Amino acid sequence: MLAVEGVVTAYGRIVALRGVSLDVSEGEIVALIGANGAGKTTLLRVISGIQPIQAGHIHFAGESIDRLAAHRRVAKGILHVPEGRQVFGPLCVEDHLRLGAYLRKDAAIAADIERLYARFPRLKKSRHRAAGNLSGGEQQMLAIGRALMGRPRLLLLDEPSMGLAPMLVDEIFDVIIDLKATGITVLLVEQNAVAALAIADRGYVIETGAIVHSGTGRVLLEDPKVRASYLGL
């Protein structure tokens, strides 16, 4: 479904990705793990079109999307939940969900908002509150909810558990497993590598802008080199 081939990108003179290739098949959860600064976030940014690429190709559902603007990739079903939640501070919860469906023209938007409220009751309780005043966990749910309103085929999740209390982390991982059950493909970047690999079908390990290991979640979890370097086991 998603094929990244030899992608290179840089921030000014600092090369962030030096020829990254990766595949995600429909319906999979793929985890991307690696140290800080390895290029995990950058890889998600080039897939969603926030960061331009200098070489390589990105194909989505059989089409080249290399030169497509970010909002056109959203229209194709690539939704990116960025690191640090990035809510619209002064806008209320309901506005976020409505804006998540900004490009949709169908009649099911209101029903989808209600479905989301059923899944995330805490958002319903805060539906008219400004997002900037929500707790970190609520903001993360809201960021995911906003992306879901765009009817994703591929969801890019960047550090969804960062800075959350352990109970909320479990809740986020439950949500990701639910997403898979509804047919959404997920590419997941996580500091919490053990938890990410445990729910992932496959994983990639990225190091200084290049993929250095890949395999099924279980194989990576049991690989002694991966365990020592990335899982702290």
Partner 1 sequence: MAEVLQFCFSGLTVGAVYALVALGFTIIYNASDVVNFAQGEFVMLGGMVTVALAAAGMPLPVAAVAAVGVAAVVGVALHRLAIEPARGASPVGLIIITIGASIFIRGIAQVVFDKQFHKLPAFSGDTPFAVLGATILPQSLWVLGGTAAIVVGLHVFFERTLIGKAVAATAANRLAARLAGINTTSMMTLSFALAGAIGAVAGILVTPITLTSYNVGTLLALKGFAAGMLGGIGNPLGAVLGGLMLGLIEAFGAGYLSSAYKDGIAFVVILVVLFAFPRGLIGKRSAERV
Binding residues for partner 1, rule: CB under 8 A, are: 48, 50, 69-71, 74-75, 79-82, 84, 86-91, 95, 98-100, 102-103, 130, 132-136, 139, 143, 146-147, 150, 163
Measured from the CB of residue 175, what is the shortest distance to partner 1 in angstroms?
Answer: 18
For tokens 């990701």, name the residue.
176
Nearer to partner 1, 3 or 88 (CB): 88
What's the min distance (Å) between Cβ of 102 and partner 1? Answer: 5
Smallest gap from residue 138 Cβ to partner 1 (A):
10
Q: Which is nearer to partner 1, 56 or 84 (CB)?
A: 84
Q: Is 72 left (phi over 0), alpha (psi -120 to 50) or beta?
A: alpha
Please, which residue, 105 or 167, has the CB nearer to partner 1? 105
Kindly list the strands in the beta sheet with 29-33, ordered across the sheet, starting from the edge strand earlier in the chain: 78-81, 154-158, 185-189, 29-33, 202-207, 210-216
Nearest to 155 by CA among 130, 170, 175: 175
Q: How far is it, in rounded angstroms, from Cα 19 to Cα 17? A: 6
- State the minimum distance, in angstroms, from the CB of residue 226 to partner 1: 30
- What gap in Å lies between CA 74 and CA 112, rounded to an integer? 17
Nearer to partner 1, 74 or 186 (CB): 74
In the complex, minimum distance from the CB of residue 88 to partner 1, in angstroms, rounded to a whole number: 4
- Copy the structure tokens of residue 56: 């390589």
Q: Is-contact 181 29, C-beta < 8 A?
A: no
Instruction: Give the contacts of 12 (CB within 8 A, at least 6 positions apart).
Output: none
The nearer residue to partner 1, 88 or 219, going by C-beta atoms, is 88
DSSP 173-215: HHHHHHHHHTT-EEEEE-S-HHHHHHH-SEEEEEETTEEEEEE
Nearer to partner 1, 136 or 215 (CB): 136
CB of 186 to partner 1, least distance (A): 16
